[in-house]
Amino acid sequence: MDLLQLGSYTFSSRLIIGTGKFSSATVMLQAVRASGAQLVTVALRRFNREQAEDDLFGPLSAIEGVTLMPNTSGASTAAEAVRAAHIARELSGSPFIKVEIHPNPQHLMPDPIETFEAARILAKEGFLVMPYITADPVLAKRLEEVGCAAVMPLGSAIGSGQGLATAAMIELIIRESSIPVIVDAGLRSPSEAAHAMEMGCEAVLVNSAVAVAGNPPEMAEAFAEAVAAGRKAFRAGLMQKSGSAIATSPLTAFLGANG
C-alpha cells in the first residue's frame, strides 16, 4: 500500500487539512471528515469562556483516525516556537509540530533562521518537526540534516490563493530531498494540488482554499480526489515533454497516398 511516512507514523491520506478561517466549527468538522485527512493542523490560543466553540480538541479528537498537528503560529522567534511546541505537545499528546515562524504580518513569509533554530532544537527533543519554509532547496536540505520529519515549502503566500508560484524551486527541493516534501500554503484549486503531487510532493496542506470555498465539505472532497489522482499519476510515471509533435497515429501508408 502507498502510505505517507512521517517518522514512525504512516498515513493513507496525503491531504493535510488546516482548521482556520472556517465560518463555524460545524462546517470545519464536516470539511475535515469529507477530506479524509488524517493529519489536521490546529493553533494555540488563549482560552475564552465566552467562546467555548473555539475549543477544537474534543471535536477533532473524536474523528476517527485523526492525528493533530499543532502549529507554532504567533511565534516570532525560535524560543517562542519551542515554548509553543512544548505547550502544544502537553495538550495534543502528538509528537507532530508544524514550526511556523512568520514575524511580518504583511506577507507572513517564514523566518528561515529562526525556523531552522527551532527545528533543530525540537527535532533533538524528539518532536516530529514539520517546518513551514520558503521554497529554498538549501534550507530544506539543512532542515533534513537536523532531523526534520518533512519539509513544507510554500506554494505562495499564506491565504493568497496564488497557487504553485514556487513550482520550479519545489522541484529542486524534491530532487534533493530524502524526507517528504509537502506543499503548504497558497493553493487555491484542486488542480494545483494534483500538480504538486504529480511533481513528487508526498502530500499537500490546504486550509484557506477549503475554508472559504462556497461549499467547504465539497471542496475538501475535491482536494482529496485531486491529491489521490496526482499521486497516482506520479507513481504511474508521466511522459517526457517534447519540443515538437510526436504522432500518435501512423502517418504513412494512408489510402494509397504513396501511390
Partner 1 sequence: MSQMITIELNGQKQPLPTGSAVSDLLSIIGSDGKSVAVLVNQQIIRPENRSARILQEGDEVELLIFAGGG
Closest approach of Cβ 89 to partner 1, in Å?
Answer: 9
CB 231 within 8 A of CB 2: yes
Minimum distance of partner 1 from residue 177's CB (angstroms): 22
Which CB sits closer to partner 1, 2 or 90? 90
Nearer to partner 1, 2 or 50 (CB): 50
Could you tell me the smallest distance in angstroms from the CB atom of residue 126 to partner 1? 16
Kindly list the distances between the CA atom of residue 14 and the CA atoms of 37, 216, 224, in Å, as whole numbers in the listed order.
7, 18, 8
Least separation, in Å, of the C-beta of 56 and partner 1?
Answer: 5
The torsion angles phi and psi of 47, rounded to 5 degrees, stand at: -65, 135
Between CA 202 and CA 141, with CA 168 as vertex, the angle to 5 degrees is 60
Of 147 and 161, CB closest to partner 1: 161
Q: End-to-end CA distance of the chain, in Å?
A: 55
The answer to whether 94 touches 127, Cβ cutoff 8 Å, is no
Reduced to 3 states (helix: H, G, I; strand: E, B; else coil), residue 55 is coil
Amino acid at 124: K
Q: Contacts from 133-138 at CB under 8 Å and sequence distance 24+?
A: 134/109, 134/110, 134/166, 135/166, 135/169, 135/170, 135/173, 136/112, 136/169, 136/173, 137/169, 137/172, 137/173, 137/176
Q: What's the closest the beta carbon of residue 233 comes to partner 1, in angstroms? A: 26
Is 98 annotated in the active site? yes
What is the C-alpha to C-alpha distance for residues 22 and 9, in angstroms, rounded to an integer? 28
- Applying CB under 8 A, the residues found at the interface with partner 1 are 18-22, 25, 28, 41-49, 54-58, 60, 68, 70-71, 73, 86-88, 90-92, 158-159, 185, 205, 207-208
Distance CA 100, CA 20 (A): 14
The size of the chain, in residues, is 259
Q: Which of 98, 124, 141, 241 does the annotation list as catalytic? A: 98
Q: How far is the CB of 33 from partner 1 (least distance, A)?
A: 15
Active site residues: 98
